[in-house]
């Protein structure tokens, strides 16, 4: 309750302050969302959706039935563009997450990336974590993608079973162990024969998305594509 009040107050007060670019802090013009034109043009886009067998696809080879995979931009630890993710995760900017979902989808839709996708499935947060933050930023990104593509978002059909520690300080091996078996299908039948687009905000090892796909292993005819807003390159 307090969390939703806080989020409401934050968005109310934002009505009275100038909208600023998430990256450089410049005031945004009408029609600009999250990024100013200069930062939009300079964004380190991967354009992996235009490359078959791209490095993001390679991360998932042999893990689950994969159609295609991409990440929108490169995440650098000290780069200015990580502020986009910081704002949507820690400053209550659900509007940023949804706008980035729309921006990313509008760029990708022209290449046919979404063709044949039946449903969007985001990585669920543990209910305790969602309560703490008040929202799931990946759900907001998914709403933005859905608004552009018309593809429905699957809600509540996969859930997170245990509260995992943060992945940030773990080694690659520990990350895989940490999320193994962490998701469970609530309604596996909903995914029979479906092409599922797995969505996340940041892709690191791919362990979390793989664990999410594992929850649907054995569902007849299910296949996956992967879309993350940002990718940490190794």
Which spans of this chain sit near Zn ion (rule: CB under 5 A)? Answer: 21, 23-24, 26, 36, 39
- In whole angstroms, the minimum distance from the beta carbon of 74 to Zn ion comes to 17
CA dist., res. 54 & res. 208, Å (int): 19
Pairwise CA distance, residues 197 & 120, whole Å:
5
Min CB(108)–Zn ion separation in Å: 22
Compare residues 21 and 158 and give the one whose CB is closer to Zn ion: 21
**Which residue, 84 or 123, has its beta carbon nearer to Zn ion?**
84
Torsion of CA 65, 202, 134, 148, to 10 degrees: -70
Q: What is the DSSP letter of 85?
A: H
Distance CA 134, CA 2 (A): 9
Instruction: For residue 206, count CB atoms less than 10 angstroms from its CB and return exposed for 0-12, middle for 13-18, buried for 19 or more.
Output: buried
Kindly state the smallest distance separating residue 93's Cβ from Zn ion, in Å.
15
Instruction: State the minimum distance, in angstroms, from the CB of residue 38 to Zn ion.
Output: 5
């Amino acid at each position: 309750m307090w969390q939703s009040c806080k989020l409401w107050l934050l968005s109310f007060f934002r009505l009275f302050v100038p909208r600023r670019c998430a990256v450089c802090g410049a005031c945004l013009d009408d029609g600009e969302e999250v990024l100013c034109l200069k930062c939009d043009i300079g964004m380190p886009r991967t354009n992996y959706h235009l490359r078959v067998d791209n490095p993001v696809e390679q991360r998932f080879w042999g893990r689950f039935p994969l159609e295609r995979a991409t990440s929108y931009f490169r995440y650098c630890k000290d780069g200015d563009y990580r502020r986009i993710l910081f704002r949507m995760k820690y400053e209550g900017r659900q509007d940023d997450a949804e706008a980035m979902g729309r921006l990313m989808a509008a760029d990708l839709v022209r290449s046919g990336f979404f063709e044949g996708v039946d449903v969007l499935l985001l990585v669920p947060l543990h209910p305790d974590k969602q309560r703490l933050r008040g929202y799931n930023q990946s759900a907001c990104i998914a709403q933005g993608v859905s608004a552009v593509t018309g593809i429905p978002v699957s809600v509540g059909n996969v859930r997170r079973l245990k509260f995992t520690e943060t992945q940030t300080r773990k080694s690659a091996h520990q990350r895989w162990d940490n999320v193994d078996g962490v998701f469970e299908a609530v309604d596996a039948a909903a995914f029979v024969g479906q092409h599922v687009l797995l969505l996340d905000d940041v892709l690191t090892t791919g362990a979390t998305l793989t664990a999410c796909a594992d929850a649907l292993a054995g569902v007849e005819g299910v296949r996956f594509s992967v879309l993350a807003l940002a990718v940490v390159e190794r």
